[in-house]
Amino acid sequence: MKSSSAIVFGGASGLGEATAREFVAAAYRVTVADLNEEKGKALAEEIGADFIQADVTGEDSVKGAIEAAASAEGGLRVCVNCAGVGAAGRIASEKHGAAPLAGYEWAININLMGTINVLRLAAESMIGNQPDDRGERGVCINTASIAAYDGQIGQTAYSASKGGVVGLTLPAARDLSRDAIRVMTIAPGLFDTPLLALLPEEARKALGDNVPYPSRLGRPAEFGQLARHIVDNQMLNGEVIRLDGALRMAPK
Ligand SMILES: NC(=O)c1ccc[n+]([C@@H]2O[C@H](COP(=O)([O-])OP(=O)(O)OC[C@H]3O[C@@H](n4cnc5c(N)ncnc54)[C@H](O)[C@@H]3O)[C@@H](O)[C@H]2O)c1
């Protein structure tokens, strides 16, 4: 699918940035879509991509980004959604009582509803594509987390939001199978993104040491490589791939 159009939501930073770089290197026309205009613009300029400011939770916002990416010849062929936020706090405790609902709504709105919003609008656009030489109209890739399976203490909001992404992967792939559109989800373990870069080197090393093999943090480029492989390998559909070096998170 050389010279095809790909869009990366949350593409200004971390895993999304690495994915944007990977697809530019593979000669895709890439649109970086992110809330963060400053970082997104700078990256797009550096790698030769387009930038569009978009909030994954907004209907018009996502529609506009997808329409811009789909205006390329051949339409939008690849949509990767890496936009997401972390959330922490026990569901209830003696000291603080019940956790505020607002924190749950925030995480679930961005991580789960944002994923649904991007997926439905990308699929709508892809349905209008001519099938490519493999008979395919497009590929959508979501980002969950291993916290969907082994969430730690304080991760109920985050795990619930990512568990929803895991759960929708198969039925979305089934929905879109008659349109020759594939849907996959990547569930990353611990990756060295700006989020973790804020921690001191020692703390980052300690996190990496917990990974059975290789005993280190994942490199964002390794996420981007998997996203590209998913696009290239047509038999991958309706599945969630853990990308975690065999890490299973402990309760804390
Ligand atoms: N880094 C890890 O170890 C790790 C592990 C598991 C899962 N993940 C998931 O991978 C994804 C990317 O994480 P990252 O580490 O690269 O984080 P990051 O903070 O480096 O990048 C996330 C990007 O998403 C953007 N974003 C946030 N809310 C948005 C919104 N509403 N609309 C559009 N863009 C928005 C941010 O501006 C940022 O550029 C997230 O969904 C995260 O939950 C990361």
Q: What is the pLDDT of residues 62-74, one digit of tens each?
A: 999 999 999 999 9
pLDDT at 203: 82
The pTM (predicted TM-score) of the whole model is 0.98
- Residue 85 Cα to ligand 1 middle (Å): 6
CB 32 within 8 A of CB 99: no
Pocket test residue of 15, 199, 240 for ligand 1, highest count of atoms within 8 A of CB: 15
Q: Which of 28, 149, 158, 213 is catalytic?
A: 158
pLDDT at 206: 86
Nearest CA to ligand 1 atom 11: 82
Nearest CA to ligand 1 atom 12: 82
Q: Does the annotation mark 158 as catalytic? A: yes
Gap between the Cα atoms of 85 and 68, Å rounded: 25
- For the CA of 162, the closest atom of ligand 1 is 43
Return the exposure string of 165-202: e unless at least 16 CB atoms fall within 10 Å of the residue's CB, then b. Answer: bbebbeebbeebeebbbbbbbbbbbbbbbeebeeeeee
Superfamily of domain 5-191+219-243: NAD(P)-binding Rossmann-like Domain (3.40.50.720)
List the beta bridge partners of residue 139.
78, 182
pLDDT digit string (tens) for 28-39? Answer: 999 999 999 999
- For the CA of 110, the closest atom of ligand 1 is 31
pLDDT at 202: 85
- Residue 110 Cα to ligand 1 middle (Å): 10
- Residue 82 Cα to ligand 1 middle (Å): 6
| Burial class (CB within 10 angstroms; exposed 0-12, middle 13-18, buried 19+) of 30 | buried
pLDDT at 24: 98
- Residue 111 Cα to ligand 1 middle (Å): 9
Residues with CB under 6 A from ligand 1: 9-10, 12-16, 34-36, 54-57, 82-85, 110, 114, 143, 145, 188, 190-191, 193-195
CB 243 within 8 A of CB 227: no
Nearest CA to ligand 1 atom 26: 83
Nearest CA to ligand 1 atom 40: 84
Average pLDDT of the residues of the chain: 96
pLDDT at 1: 42
Gap between the Cα atoms of 227 and 140, Å rounded: 10
List the beta bridge partners of residue 243.
188
pLDDT digit string (tens) for 76-110? Answer: 999 999 999 999 999 999 999 999 999 999 999 99
pLDDT at 15: 98
Average pLDDT per block of 10 residues along the chain, 252 residues long: 84 98 98 98 98 98 98 96 95 97 97 98 98 98 98 96 98 98 98 84 88 97 98 98 97 92
pLDDT at 136: 98
pLDDT at 246: 98
